[in-house]
Amino acid sequence: MSISSSSPMHVMDDYINLNNASVTILGEPYINILVQPMEKFRFRYISEMVGTHGSLLGASTSRRRNKNNVPTVQLCNFPERAVIRCLLVTTDEDHRIPHAHRLVRRVGTDDVDDPHDIEVSSNNDFTAEFNSMGIIHTARKNVKDELVRKLRAEILEERRRLNINATLSVRDEAQIKADAEQYQKCINLNSVALCFQGFIKDQYGITRPITAPVYSNPINNLKSALTGELKICRIDKYTSSCEGGEEVFILVEKVSKKNIKIKFFELNDDDIEVWADYGRFSELDVHHQYAMVFRTPPYKDLNITTPREVFIQLERPSDSDCSEPIKFTYDAESFAKNIVIDILNNIKKKPTDAKNIIMNLLKDRTIYGDSPLHCALRFGQKDTVKRILMLMSTLNTDARDLTNIPNTSGKTPLHYAVLQNQPEITKALLMLCANPNIADHSGQMPLHTAANSIILYNNTISGPEAGMNVDVFITIIDVNKKNFSGNTALHNAVVTQGAKAKEICALLLKYGADPYIKNHNRPDVEETQVQNIKTEAHSEDDNMEECAGESSFDLASNKLDILQLISGQGDVSEKRGFVCKEENIVDTEKVWMDADQEKQLATILDETKGWKKLADHLNFDYLLKTFERNSFSSPALLLLNYIAVQTHISLGELQSILQNMGEEYAATYLQQVLSFN
C-alpha cells in the first residue's frame, strides 16, 4: 500500500468533464515546495503535550529561527479553488507509507491529527503555509495500532472515490493488520517526512487527487541518539598539557555510546585542518547517554613553549554529523619542574630544614588541586617524577601524606601512575605507602584504571625489593569494589581492547573477582531492536521494566576466549560459596551438583541439544544467541554454570523442568544425583 494510488490526470479529466467548461491547457498540475521543514525537530510524547511547545518551522540558512518561517507549498498549473493536504509519511523513498507518529496541528485549543487540508486559490496565490504543527512520538507498543488506523482511513478514502458507500470487508481488515505487522518491523521511528498533495472536492464532498504526492526532506528526531543534534553542553576544563592524558568530563545532548567520537583538531590561518586526533574513552565512560569522561590525546608537538589553541567537537561516525566546535588549549607544563628547582635551592640555603621544605613545597597545588607529583605524572615528565620520588623517600613514613593527596577529581598520584602505564613508578609509590583503595570522585580505584590501562599488578609488584609480593598487594585491595557506575575492575578488563585483556581478566579472577556482579548500566534502548523496530524508548509510554544492569559475564558475550575463561571456573557453587535462597529446601535436594556431576549432565544436554530448550524455557535468549554465534566446546556447561549463579533454581526444580521438556535422559540422571544424596 502506498500514498494515493489514484491517477491525478484521470481525475483532472473527470473534473474538466464534470464542469463542462473550456479551459486553457496549463500543463499537468503539480506541488512545489517553497519552504522545506527544518531538518531536526523534537518529537514529543503524548504526556508532554501540555501547554505550549515549539512548532515545526521551516528550514533556514541562518542561525536565528523565524517563527513565521513554516513549511510552505504552492499548487501550480491549476486555475480553480483546491485543497493542499499535508500528512506524515516514512522516509523510505522506495516505499512510502503513513508514519506511525502523529502530525498534530493546533486549532484553537485542540490538537487535530493529520491529514491537514488548507484551501488554496488565486486569493492566496495557491500557496499553503502549514503552521502550528507538532510531531507526537508513538510508543513502540502502539505502533501497529496506529498504522492500522491510518492504513484503514487511507484505503477507505480510496474506495469511496469509486463508491461513496464503500466499506471495508473482513478480508480487507485482515490484510491491513498483516501489512501493519510487517511495516512495524522496519519503520524508522526517529525520522519522518511530510507528504503534500493537491485535491479537489466533488459534489459529494469526496476528495480527489489532482497532483502526484510530493515529499519533503527527512525530519529527524532532535532528541534521538541516532539522529539528534550533537551538542557539548558543559565541559569541566578547557586546557591540557601537550602530553595529553588529561581527564575531562563533558555533559552532552543524548548520544549513543557505540556511535560517538570526540575529535580534537587544529586549523591554520586559512581555516584548513592541519592536525586531528581523538579523545580516549570506552563505552563504559558514556554515562546514560548524557555524560562522557575521556582523556585528551597528546598534541602533535610535545616540545611547545607557548600555549596552542585547538578545537574539540563531538562526531557521529554513522552520518558524519558534528557538534559545534569549542576552543581548547594545549599548554607547555612547567609547574612541577619549578617546584623541584625551588626545593633544591631552598635546601642549599637551609640544609637542616630540608624535611619541612620538601613537605611544604610538595603540598603546593594548581587551580585543579594537582600537587607537583600529580602534574609531573599527568604530563609525562618522567625525570621530574623521579626527582620528586627521591625527595619523598627521605621523608620515610611522612611520605604517606604526599602520596595520597587527592586533586579536585579525587585522584591520587597512584591513579595517574597507573593511568600512564608506569609500573616502576607505581611500585615506588606503593613503597611510599600509597593507598590503592582510595577512589576518585567517580568511584574509580587505581585497580579500575589498571584494568583499562593494561598495567598488570603482578608485573608491577614483584621481587623482595618491593617490600611485598603480588599476593600481599592484591589481598589489601577490594577487587570487587564498584565505581559509581557499578563497574568493578573486571568489568573494565572485559571491555579492554587488545591481547592483554584475557591476561588481566585471569589475574583478577585469580584473586577473587566476581564475574556475576552487575553494574548500573543498561543497554542503549535505541541500539536494541525489539521485533526489529528502530525505536527510542520512553519510560512513561512504554512502561519499561528497570534493567538490572550488566555483569562481566554479560559484557564478555562477544569475546569467546574471555567468556570461556569466566565460565570455565569448575565447580561454581563451591568456588563462590553459592547458597540457594529457597527457604524450604528438602533434605534430599543438594544445593547444586559437584563439578563431575555438572559435567556429566552437560554432556547429556550437549548430545541431545536440550540446552537450547532449557535456555529458551528460562528466557535466556541473549545467552542462546551468544552460544549459537560462537563455537563453544560445551554450551550446556556454560548454561549450567550461569543457572547455578544467577538463579535460585534447585536441583529438584531443574529435574522437573527437564522432565516437562521431554529431556528424559537428563531428568533421569538428575534424579539419580538427588537419590544419592
620 has pLDDT over 70: yes
pLDDT for res 1: 52
Q: Which residues of 599-633 are buried (b: 16+ CB within 10 A; e: fewer)?
A: bebbebbbebebbbbbbeebebeebbebbeebebe
595 has pLDDT over 70: yes
CATH class of segment(s) 232-331:
mainly beta
Judge contact between 101 and 220, C-beta under 8 A: no
- Taking the C-alpha atoms of residue 379 and residue 246, their distance in angstroms, rounded to an integer, is 8
Q: How confident is the model at residue 531 (pLDDT cuts 50, 70, 90)?
A: very low
Average pLDDT over residues 378-382: 78
pLDDT for res 48: 63
Which pLDDT tens digit goes with each residue over 19-75? 444 444 567 999 999 999 998 888 887 766 554 557 899 987 655 556 678 999 999
Q: Which residues of 377-415 are buried (b: 16+ CB within 10 A; e: fewer)?
A: bbbbbeebbebbbebbeebeeebeebbbbbbebebbbbb
The residue behind cell 617490600 is 467
Specify the DSSP element, H or E, that contains 447: helix 446-453
pTM: 0.47
Which pLDDT tens digit goes with each residue over 222-237? 877 777 788 999 999 8
Ramachandran assignment for 108, one of left (phi > 0), alpha (psi -120 to 50 degrees), beta (any other): left
- Taking the C-alpha atoms of residue 620 and residue 649, their distance in angstroms, rounded to an integer, is 14
pLDDT for res 462: 34
More confident call, 424 vs 568: 424
The residue behind cell 548500566 is 521
Judge contact between 555 and 516, C-beta under 8 A: no
Average pLDDT over residues 405-423: 87
- Taking the C-alpha atoms of residue 514 and residue 632, their distance in angstroms, rounded to an integer, is 22
Specify the DSSP element, H or E, that contains 261: strand 261-267
pLDDT for res 529: 41
Average pLDDT over residues 195-221: 93
422 has pLDDT over 60: yes
Query: Which stretch of 39-43, 262-266, 447-451, 648-652 has the lowest confidence by average pLDDT?
Result: 447-451
546 has pLDDT over 70: no
More confident call, 335 vs 150: 150
174 has pLDDT over 90: yes
350 has pLDDT over 50: yes
pLDDT for res 74: 96
CATH class of segment(s) 30-221:
mainly beta
Within a 10 A sphere around the Cβ of 514, how many other Cβ atoms? 16
Query: Which stretch of 121-130, 287-296, 527-536 has the lowest confidence by average pLDDT?
Result: 527-536
Q: Which residues contact 441 (CB under 8 A, 6 or more apart)?
A: 409, 410
Residue 299, classified by CB atoms within 10 Å of its CB into exposed (0-12), middle (13-18) or buried (19+), is buried
pLDDT for res 539: 41
Judge contact between 521 and 483, C-beta under 8 A: no
142 has pLDDT over 60: yes
pLDDT for res 645: 63
304 has pLDDT over 90: no
How far, CA to CA in Å, does 613 sit from each of 290, 607, 659, 663? 39, 13, 12, 9
pLDDT for res 369: 86
Judge contact between 306 and 519, C-beta under 8 A: no
pLDDT for res 232: 94
- Taking the C-alpha atoms of residue 445 and residue 435, their distance in angstroms, rounded to an integer, is 10
Query: Which stretch of 8-12, 49-53, 383-387, 657-661 has the lowest confidence by average pLDDT?
Result: 8-12
Calculate Rg over the CA atoms of the chain: 34
Judge contact between 407 and 392, C-beta under 8 A: no
Query: Which stretch of 490-499, 508-517, 610-619, 621-630 has the lowest confidence by average pLDDT?
Result: 621-630
pLDDT > 90: what percent of the chain? 31
DSSP secondary structure code for residue 47 in this structure:
G
- Taking the C-alpha atoms of residue 433 and residue 623, their distance in angstroms, rounded to an integer, is 44
Average pLDDT over residues 510-534: 64
